[in-house]
């Protein structure tokens, strides 16, 4: 067994979780930072441009959902197989994800070319938003190959105990994106100003570079599995194993797209400023949760490996520590957002109306962060421990079944402040459901 895999089963849990998760936290914070920076530069174009990018978020999230879902399936299957000593299955799964990434990329070429304008005209009749949004969405969908391959290859590095290399890949792509954003949006010297389209080009370039670097590291540094062309075509058994975990994860992440679409419709009925404020919160929420997502990426491999090796004491210890860290970090982020609300809005070139709406929005929504952190950690543990349906159920409650109806009911009052309260309400109720499901599951791992 490779040394990178051995540490998953023998290194002290506290040290192991930090070794696996801290690099992922850093890389995902940098990734989230480029999302925030991207919106900051777009906001300098116009409020309509910011709204256009916000409306594109659900479709971008579909790309993320598919890539992450497949990657999570790989992250659960590969270390579990290695924990059982079944290297052949681990390698077949690793090769299958490349085939799947290629297929996904081709599908989104068609979606980007054929359906971008329809996607926007279904949601708004504002010409400035439609034109800016169509140019943005076409680029990020047609050139989604970097997103799909990057997600899969980076998750494979994590699955085989190489989270530091995954951090380098993600951070490189994100930093490149941050550098390219102002150059391509506003132009410099011979580089023409591309506006919103420039933000999209910067995004896909960063994704492609990150994916290329991840491929290099997997070929040169990842000794746990090997890439073989003959093994790229997946068997039905491998696909079943990947998607048993991956599809619930895809649906889980994809729920954010459905949620965003529904909430956008509620806010569009109020004003485009409210929609833009919602887009800002999504970026801040994503940034605030990135330490938790990084923690999850590290803990998934640990949980899956030790479940496969039947080291249940390490399973319990890992989950407890992940919960403590995730909730504590999210609480600190919540306090920061509530204190620094106006400076945060200033980063997005907020108008007076945006300050009025956004200040209330951020302070209310920030209350959901510690509650959501508990839910996110527990839902990820369900995937690693063979209960992906629990993950799907919990996230459906958090992002759709509870959140959207509550937001709609609050909108009937005509008070926009009450709509924002739907976020902490949904996270609080879902956290209770997740705790109940987790306690039932952990009985299987009692001494």
Our measurement of the distance from residue 392's CA atom to the centroid of its chain's CA atoms, rounded to an integer in Å, reads 15
Q: What is the pLDDT of residue 447?
A: 54
pLDDT of residue 252: 67
* Mean pLDDT within 331-340: 96
What pLDDT is recorded for position 200?
Answer: 93
Q: What is each CA distance from 433 to 398, 428, 437, in whole angstroms?
A: 10, 9, 6
Contact 163, 20 (CB under 8 A): yes
CB 150 within 8 A of CB 214: yes
Per DSSP, 401 falls in state: I
pLDDT of residue 158 exceeding 80: no
Q: What is the pLDDT of residue 314?
A: 86
Which phi and psi (to 5°) does residue 188 adopt? -160, 120
Specify the higher pLDDT residue, 13 or 324: 324
* CA dihedral of residues 143, 180, 124, 285 (deg, nearest 10): 100
pLDDT, residue 383, reads 76
pLDDT digits (tens, 9 = 90+) for 12-33: 888 888 887 887 787 677 767 7
Contact criterion met (CB below 8 Å) for 360 and 420: yes
Q: Please compute the mean of the pLDDT values over residues 84-107 and round it to a whole number.
A: 85
Distance of CA 347 to the CA centre of its chain: 22
Asked if the model's pLDDT at residue 64 lies above 70, the reply is yes
Please state the pTM of the whole predicted model. 0.70
Weakest mean pLDDT among 208-212, 283-287, 402-406: 283-287
Residues 50 and 154: their CA atoms lie apart, in Å, by 29
Report residue 2's pLDDT band, with 50, 70 and 90 as the boundaries.
Answer: very low
CA proximity to 238, closest of 27, 70, 369, 112 = 70
Residue 22 Cα to chain centre, angstroms: 17
Nearest residue to 303 (alpha-carbon basis) of 239, 380, 360: 380
Question: Comparing C-alpha atoms, which of 244, 246, 384 is closest to residue 314?
Answer: 384
Tell me the range of 38-47, 219-228, 363-372 where mean pLDDT is highest.
Answer: 363-372
The fraction of the chain above a pLDDT of 70, given in percent, is 96
DSSP for residue 399: I
State the pLDDT confidence band at 142, using cuts at 50, 70 and 90. very high
pLDDT of residue 327: 95
240 CB neighbour count, 10 Å cutoff: 10
Residue 4 has pLDDT above 70, yes or no: no
Q: Give 370-379 pLDDT, tens digit per residue.
A: 999 999 999 8
More confident: 214 or 24: 214
Structure confidence at residue 302 (pLDDT): 85
| Average pLDDT over the chain, rounded to an integer | 86
Chain centroid offset of residue 175 CA:
17
Question: Could you tell me which residue, 346 or 73, shows the higher pLDDT?
Answer: 346
pLDDT at 53: 87
Report DSSP state, residue 84. Answer: T
Mean pLDDT score, 192-205: 92
Retrieve residue 181's tokens.
Answer: 């954003």
Question: What's the pLDDT score for residue 222?
Answer: 76
pLDDT at 189 exceeding the cut of 60: yes
């Amino acid at each position: 067994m490779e040394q990178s895999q051995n540490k998953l089963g023998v290194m002290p849990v506290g040290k192991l979780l930090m070794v696996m998760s801290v690099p992922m936290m850093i890389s995902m914070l940098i990734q989230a930072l480029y999302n925030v920076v991207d919106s900051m530069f777009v906001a300098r174009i116009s409020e309509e441009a910011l709204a256009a990018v916000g409306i594109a978020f659900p479709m971008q999230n579909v790309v993320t959902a598919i890539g992450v879902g497949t990657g999570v399936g790989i992250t659960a299957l590969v270390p579990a197989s290695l924990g059982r000593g079944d290297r052949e299955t681990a390698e077949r799964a690793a090769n299958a994800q490349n085939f799947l990434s290629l297929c996904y990329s081709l599908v989104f070429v068609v979606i980007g070319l054929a359906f971008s304008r329809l996607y926007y005209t279904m949601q708004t009749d504002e010409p400035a938003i439609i034109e800016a949004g169509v140019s943005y969405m076409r680029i990020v969908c047609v050139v989604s190959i970097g997103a799909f391959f990057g997600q899969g290859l980076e998750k494979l590095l994590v699955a085989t105990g190489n989270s530091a290399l995954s951090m380098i890949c993600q951070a490189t792509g994100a930093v490149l994106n941050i550098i390219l954003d102002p150059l391509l949006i506003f132009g410099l010297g011979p580089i023409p100003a591309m506006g919103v389209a420039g933000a999209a080009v910067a995004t896909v370039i960063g994704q492609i570079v990150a994916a290329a670097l991840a491929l290099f590291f997997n070929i040169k540094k990842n000794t746990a599995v090997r890439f073989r062309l003959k093994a790229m075509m997946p068997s039905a058994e491998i696909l079943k194993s990947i998607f048993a975990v991956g599809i619930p994860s895809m649906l889980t992440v994809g729920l954010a797209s459905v949620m965003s679409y529904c909430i956008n419709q509620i806010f569009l009925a109020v004003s485009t400023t409210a929609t833009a404020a919602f887009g800002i919160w999504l970026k801040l929420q994503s940034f605030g949760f990135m330490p938790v997502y990084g923690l999850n990426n590290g803990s998934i491999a640990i949980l899956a490996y030790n479940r496969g090796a039947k080291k249940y004491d390490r399973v319990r210890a890992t989950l407890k520590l992940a919960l403590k860290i995730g909730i504590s970090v999210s609480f600190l982020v919540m306090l920061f957002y509530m204190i620094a609300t106006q400076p945060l809005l200033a980063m997005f070139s907020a108008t007076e109306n945006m300050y009025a709406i956004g200040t209330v929005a951020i302070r209310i929504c920030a209350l959901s962060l510690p509650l959501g952190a508990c839910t996110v950690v527990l839902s990820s543990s369900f995937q690693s421990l063979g209960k992906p349906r629990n993950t799907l159920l919990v996230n459906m409650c958090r992002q759709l079944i509870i959140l959207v109806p509550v937001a709609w009911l609050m909108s009937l009052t005509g008070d926009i402040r009450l709509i924002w309260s739907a976020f902490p309400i949904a996270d609080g109720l879902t956290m209770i459901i997740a705790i109940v499901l987790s306690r039932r599951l952990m009985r299987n791992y009692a001494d």
